[in-house]
A and B are shown apart, each in its own frame.
Chain A
C-alpha cells in the first residue's frame, strides 16, 4: 500500500464498515461508536450497581441484630468483599468511563474517540470480569478477605474465590487503563481547532486529571495483584510471612492505586457537577480556571497520600507525618471546588429539576465526607478510628453522597441528549427525596458507631450498638427502594418520554449543538465556537453552532474535519 493509501485508510472512522448502530442489537455487539460504548458502560455498570446494592442489603440485614443469624460468617465476609469490589470496580469507575465515552468527543467537537476499537475492547473486558465475580458467589466460593485482600489472610482463605477475584480485578484494571489512554489522546489531540484548553468544558478537565491518575496508579495495583497471585497459586512468598515475605509491602502497592481510586471515582463527577450547576443556575461557572486546575492538583496530590491507610500498620513515625500533611492539603483544592459551586449558585436563577437537585445533594452530602476526611488525616485521631464504622461512614459519604449522587445528576442531565427524550421530573424528585433520606439514615449513625468502638467487617458486634445498627439497616432498605422509581422512570422515558429537542436545558457546551440523540459521527460538519462553555447571561452571546443547524454560518461550513496529523500540526 502506498503512503497515501495508508493515510486514507487511517482517516476512515473505524465504524464505517460496521453500519447500522441504531438497532437495539448493536448495544450487544462489538460496536465502535463512542455513544454506543458510552451507553453500554452506563447500562452495564447500573446493572452491577443493582447487584452490589442487593449484596449491601444482605450485609445490612445480617447487621440488623448483634448475633450472626442471617448468613454464616464466611458468606458474610464474601458478601461485603464482593459488595465493595462491585461498587468500586464495576459501578462507579465504569460509570465515569461511560459518561466520558459518551460526552468527551461531543464536548470537544470530535467525531469519535481517538481509538474506537480500543474503546470497544476496554468495554468488553468488563462483562466477563463481572460475571467471574458473580459466578464465584454463586458457586459459594467467593473471595472473603475484603476488597483490600490483604495477605496473609487472602492467602489462607478460599483459594478459588481469591484467584477469581484477582483475575477479575486485573481485567477491570486493564479496561480502565485502556480507557484512560483513549480519553487522554482524544482530549489532547482531537479538540476542534478553535478550542484551546481554556475553552474546554470542565468535565473534560476532570477526565484529563482522572485519566492521568489511572495511567500512573493502576499498573502498580496490577503488579501487586500479580505478585499476590503468585503467592496464592505458585507458592512464592512475596507477601507471605511464613517464607519471609512482607505483608506490608502489599499494602503499599495496593494503596498506591486504591487511594487514587477514590479520586478516580470522584473527579469525573466533580466535572459533571461543574457542568450541571451553571446550566441550571443560569450563571457562568464561578472560577473556571480555579476549578480546572484544582482537578489537576487533586490528581497530583492523590498520588502521594496512599500511606494514610496504613497509619496503624508498619510505617515509621516521620512518614506518618508526611502523609498526614499531604492528605490534609487535598482539602484545599476540594474546598475551592465546593466554594466555587456555591458561588455559581449565588445570585443565579436556580431551576429545581432532578439534575440540579442531585447536584445540590452532591454538594451538601459530599462536604460531610470531605470534612471527616480531613479528620481522618490527623494521625492521632486516625489511630483511634482506623478500621471502624467511622471510616465506613466517611467513605460512603464520599462515594455514595458524592459519586453516586453525581452519577444520578449526570444521568438526569444528559438523558435527553443520550435518548432524545426527557426523564419524568416528578419521579426524579421522588427518587431524590428517597435517596437523601436513605443515604443519611444509613450512613450518618455509622460515625457514632465507629467513634464508640464498633469495628468494621464484623458479622457480630457488641449489643450496645444494636439500635444504631437497626436504623442503618432500615436506611439501607429505603436506599434499595429509592432506585425503583429511577429504573421505571428511565425505561419508561426512554420508550415513551416527552421528546427533548436538541437543547432542552439551553446549554452552551458543544454536546448540545447537535441532534438528540446525536447522529453516528456527531456533527455534520466542523462545529464553530462562538462562546465560552459557560457564558450564561452574557449579553447577546450567540449559542455555539453546528453549521448544519445555522444557515448563516453555512458559508464557512465547508471546512472538512482535520485529520489527526494536520490537527497536530495546527496545535504545535
Chain B
C-alpha cells in the first residue's frame, strides 16, 4: 500500500514537534537557576531551544533527504525539472520565520520587562529645555558658546556621590582620577541596566551593595554596615541592588547562575537588581576582557539564609573593628542609614524645574 505524501508530512510534522518539545525541556545546557530572574530567562531559552531544534531538524532533514533521494544516478546526464519558483511557498517560508521571530521578540520583551529592563527609574530623560534658553536674549549667546557648562543635575554624578557617601566605598573608588560622565542627550545618564521588576519599581532595594571592579579583583562594600569584602554575600529572597563602576578598564559583572551581566565602565555608574533564590556558592566572573589576568578575575557569590548572612556581616564587623571605628568617626551622622539618606532621597525625587523654582 502506498501511503499518500500528505499523511507522511503529517506524521513527520508530529514527530518533529514531539522531538523538539522534548529537547527544548531536556537539553541540560544551563547551570542551576539561582535567582528569580534566572527562572524567567530559562523559560525563554527553553522556548527558543524548542523552536530551534524544530528548524534545525527540518533544514538538516531536507538536506540529507535531498542528498539521498536526488543524487545523480550513474549515466544520467539529464538536467532536473526547471522549477524556478512557487509564490505561495515563498510567501509561506517568509511568513513563518517572521511570525516566529515576532513571537520570540514579544516573549523576550515580556521577560525583559519582568526582570526590570524597563524600570522607569533607570532611565531619565535628558532635560528638554536648557535653563539658559528660557532666559530672554540668550539664544544668540547659546550659538556663540558651543557647550555652556550645564547647571542641570548630573545623574551619573549624583549616583556616584550617593555611593561615595559610604566611606568604605569612597576608599576603594578612585573617583578623583576618573571624572563622572555627564548625561548623553536622550539616552539617560547612568548606564541603565536591569532595574527593579514592575511590581518593585519605585521601591528602594532591600539590600544595596557597591561594587568596584579593578584589575583583577572585585571589591564589595555594604553601605548599610560599612563592611568591605572581596566576595559577595547576599541573603536569599531579598532584592539586591548592585551599584558598580570600574577603576581602570571595563569589567563585566557576571554570575552565570543568576543569568545576569552588566559592564562596569570607568566614569559611569551602572546597576543591576536581582533576587537570589537558591543557597549556594557561585562563581562571579569578569566577562569583559580586562588584561592578561582577565581569566583570574573571579570570586565567589555566597547566597545564604538571612541569619547566616547576618552572622557573616557580624564577623566582618568584628574583624575590622578598628577600621570600622574610624569609618564611623568619618560618618557625618550616626543615625540609621534610612534616616541618614531620607533628606537626600527626598531631594532627588524633586524635578529639576521644581528645584529651580524653590531656589528662586
**B66 and A345 contact, CB distance less than 8 A:** yes
Asked if B188 is at the interface of the complex by the 8 Å CB criterion, the answer is yes
Which residues of chain A come closer than 8 Å to B191, judged between CB atoms? 248, 313-315
Q: What 0/1 pattern do residues 109 to 127 of B give for CB contact below 8 A with A?
A: 1011001011100110000
Contact with A along B40-53 (1 / 0, CB 8 A): 11001100100010
Is B59 a contact partner of A328 (Cβ separation < 8 A)?
A: no
Query: For residue B122, which residues in chain A have a CB less than 8 angstroms away from its CB?
Result: 316-317
Min C-beta distance of A139 to chain B, whole Å: 18
CA distance A313 to B101 in the complex (A): 24
Encode contact with B along A360-390: 1 for CB under 8 Å, 0 otherwise: 1001100110011011001111011011100
A residues 423-452 in Cβ contact with B at 8 Å: 447-448, 451-452
Residues A73 and B293 in contact, CB atoms below 8 Å apart: yes
Residues of B within 8 A of A459 (CB): 292, 295
| A248 contacts B265, C-beta separation under 8 Å | yes
Q: Are A282 and B79 in contact (CB under 8 A)?
A: yes
Within 8 Å CB of B273, what residues of A? none
A316 to B288, CA, bound (A): 19
CA A283 to CA B82, docked complex, whole Å: 6
Q: How far is the CA of A503 from the CA of B275 in the complex (A)?
A: 67
**Complex Cα spacing A287 to B30, Å:** 39
Contacts of B267 in A (CB 8 A): 241, 244-247
* Among A242, A247, A368, A452, contact of B29 (Cβ-Cβ < 8 Å): A452
Q: Does chain A have a CB within 8 A of B105? A: yes
The CA-CA distance from A462 to B81 in the complex, in Å, is 56
Q: Is B94 an interface residue (CB 8 A)?
A: yes
> Chain A's nearest CB lies how many Å from the CB of B168?
23
Give A325 to B105 CA distance when docked, in angstroms: 6
Asked if B239 is at the interface of the complex by the 8 Å CB criterion, the answer is: no
Q: Of residues 316 to 342 in B, which have CB atoms within 8 Å of A's CB atoms? A: none
CA–CA, A387 to B119, complex, Å? 24
- Fill in one digit per residue for A256-299: 1 if any B CB lies within 8 Å of its CB, else 0: 00000000000000000000000001111111111000000000
Task: Indicate if B344 sits at the interface (CB-CB under 8 A).
Answer: no
Nearest CB of A to B327, in Å: 27
Give the most central of A150, A360, A380: most B CB within 10 Å. A380
Contact of A313 among B80, B177, B263, B289 (CB under 8 A): B263
Q: Which of B97-151 contact A (CB under 8 A)?
A: 97-98, 101-102, 104-105, 107-109, 111-112, 115, 117-119, 122-123
Chain A positions within 8 Å of B263 at CB level = 312-314
Q: Does A504 contact B (CB under 8 A)?
A: no
Are A290 and B188 in contact, with the CB atoms below 8 A?
Answer: no
Say if the beta carbon of B72 comes within 8 Å of chain A.
yes
Cα–Cα, bound, A345→B105 (Å):
32
Distance A318 CA – B60 CA, assembled complex (angstroms): 36
Pairwise interchain contact A332-B97, C-beta atoms closer than 8 A: yes
Residues of chain B contacted by A455 (CB below 8 angstroms): 254, 285-287, 295
| B101 pairs with A374, CB closer than 8 A | yes
Contact check: which of B45, B107, B290 meets A153 at CB < 8 Å? B290
Q: How far is the CA of A199 from the CA of B13 in the complex (A)?
A: 38
Q: Tell me, yes or no, whether B181 is within 8 Å of chain A by CB.
A: yes
In this assembly, does A183 line the interface, its C-beta being within 8 Å of a C-beta of chain B?
no
Nearest A residue (CB) for B93 = A339
The answer to the question of B280 belonging to the interface, with a C-beta cut-off of 8 Å to chain A, is no
Stretch from B229-237, B244-252, B303-311 forming part of the interface with A = B244-252
A392 located at the interface, meaning its Cβ lies under 8 Å from any Cβ of chain B in the complex? no
Smallest beta-carbon distance A359→chain B, Å: 11
CB-CB < 8 A to B254: which residues of A?
387, 455
Contact status A281-B80, CB under 8 Å: yes
* A27 adjacent to chain B (CB < 8 Å): no
Decide if B104 touches A380 in the complex (CB within 8 Å): no
Contact of B289 among A339, A447, A457 (CB under 8 A): A457
Q: Which residue from B29, B41, B71, B187 sits with its C-beta under 8 Å from A319? A: B187
Chain A: which residue is nearest B287 at the CB level? Answer: A387
Query: Across the interface, which residues of A come within 8 angstroms of B289, CB to CB?
Result: 77, 145-146, 150, 153, 387, 456-457
A residues in contact with B261, CB < 8 Å: 312, 383-384, 386-387
B70 near A345: Cβ-Cβ < 8 Å: yes
| CA distance in complex: A375, B122 (Å) | 25
B219 to chain A, nearest CB (A): 18
Q: Are B55 and A352 in contact (CB under 8 A)?
A: no
Mark out the residues of chain B between 61 and 86 whose CB falls within 8 Å of any chain A CB in the assembled complex: 62-63, 66-67, 70-73, 76, 78-86
| A336 vs B84: C-alpha distance when bound (angstroms) | 14
Q: Chain B contacts of A368 at CB under 8 A?
A: 56
- Tell me if A374 and B192 are in contact (CB < 8 A): no
Min CB distance, B113 to chain A, in Å?
Answer: 9
- In the assembled complex, the Cα of A360 lies from the Cα of B111 at a distance in Å of 37
Q: Which residue of B lies closest to A248 (CB)?
A: B265
Q: Is the CB of A288 within 8 A of B256?
A: no
A288:B250 contact, CB within 8 angstroms: no
Residues of B close to A241: CB separation below 8 A: 178-179, 181, 265-267
| Cα–Cα distance between A457 and B295 once the two chains are bound (Å) | 8
Complex: chain B residue closest to A356, CB-CB: B67
B181-198 to A contact mask, C-beta < 8 Å, 1/0: 100100110011110000
Q: Which of B29, B63, B70, B257 is close to A447, meaning CB atoms less than 8 Å apart? A: B29
Residues on the B chain within 8 Å of A371, using CB: 52, 55-56
Q: Given the complex of chains A and B, what is the CA–CA distance between A241 and B90 in angstroms?
A: 51
Is A338 positioned at the interface, with any CB of B under 8 Å from its CB?
yes
Cα–Cα, bound, A536→B82 (Å) = 6
CB distance from B272 to the nearest CB of A (A): 10
A212 sits at the interface (CB 8 A): no
**Distance (Å) between the CB of B56 and the closest chain A CB?**
6
Q: Check A387 against B288 for contact (C-beta < 8 Å).
A: yes
Q: How far is the CB of A70 from chain B (nearest CB, A)?
A: 13
Are B72's CB and A314's CB within 8 A?
A: no
Q: Which residues in B have their C-beta under 8 angstroms from that of A150? A: 250, 288-289
Residue of B111, B250, B295 near A460 (CB, 8 A) is B295
Question: In the complex where A242-B178, A384-B256, A453-B285 touch, is A348 in contact with B41 (Cβ < 8 A)?
Answer: no
Q: Does B228 contact A (CB under 8 A)?
A: no
- Least Cβ distance of A77 to chain B in Å? 6
Nearest CB in chain A: distance from B122 CB, A = 7
Do residues B250 and A152 form an inter-chain contact, with CB atoms below 8 A? yes
**Are the C-beta atoms of A458 and B295 separated by less than 8 Å?**
yes
Contact of A244 among B44, B52, B179 (CB under 8 A): B179
Given A156-B248, A242-B177, A343:B89 Cβ within 8 A: yes
Q: In the assembly, what is the distance between CA of A380 and CA of B197, in Å? A: 13
Interface string of A329-342 (1 = CB under 8 A from B): 10110011011101
Q: Find chain A residues with CB under 8 A from B266 CB.
A: 152, 241-242, 247
- Residue on A with the closest CB to B101? A328
How far apart are B185's CB and chain A's nearest CB, in angstroms? 12
A115 near B: Cβ within 8 Å?
A: no
| Residue A192 lies at the interface, judged by CB distance under 8 Å to chain B | no
Q: In the complex the two chains form, what is the Cα distance from A76 to B296 in whole Å?
A: 14
Within 8 A of B (CB), among A134-154: 144-146, 150, 152-153
Q: Is A551 interfacial (CB 8 A cutoff)?
A: no
- Residues of B near A329 (CB, < 8 A) are 98, 101
CB distance A367 to B98 under 8 Å?
A: no
- Bound state CA distance, A373 and B31, in angstroms? 21
Q: Could you show 19 A-B contacts with beta carbons less than 8 Å apart?
A: A150-B289, A153-B291, A244-B179, A245-B267, A282-B72, A284-B83, A315-B187, A315-B191, A316-B188, A343-B86, A345-B70, A346-B66, A347-B80, A349-B72, A367-B60, A374-B104, A379-B112, A455-B295, A537-B81
* Given contact pairs A286-B83, A331-B101, a sample of 5 additional A-B residue pairs in the complex whose CB atoms are under 8 Å apart: A352-B67, A378-B48, A384-B260, A451-B31, A452-B256
For the complex of A and B, the 9 pairs showing the least CB-CB separation, nearest first, are A458-B295, A453-B256, A537-B79, A73-B292, A314-B191, A241-B267, A283-B80, A348-B80, A241-B266
List residues of B whose CB falls within 8 A of some A CB. Answer: 29-31, 40-41, 44-45, 48, 52, 55-56, 59-60, 62-63, 66-67, 70-73, 76, 78-86, 89-90, 93-94, 97-98, 101-102, 104-105, 107-109, 111-112, 115, 117-119, 122-123, 177-179, 181, 184, 187-188, 191-194, 248-250, 252, 254, 256-257, 259-263, 265-268, 270, 283, 285-296
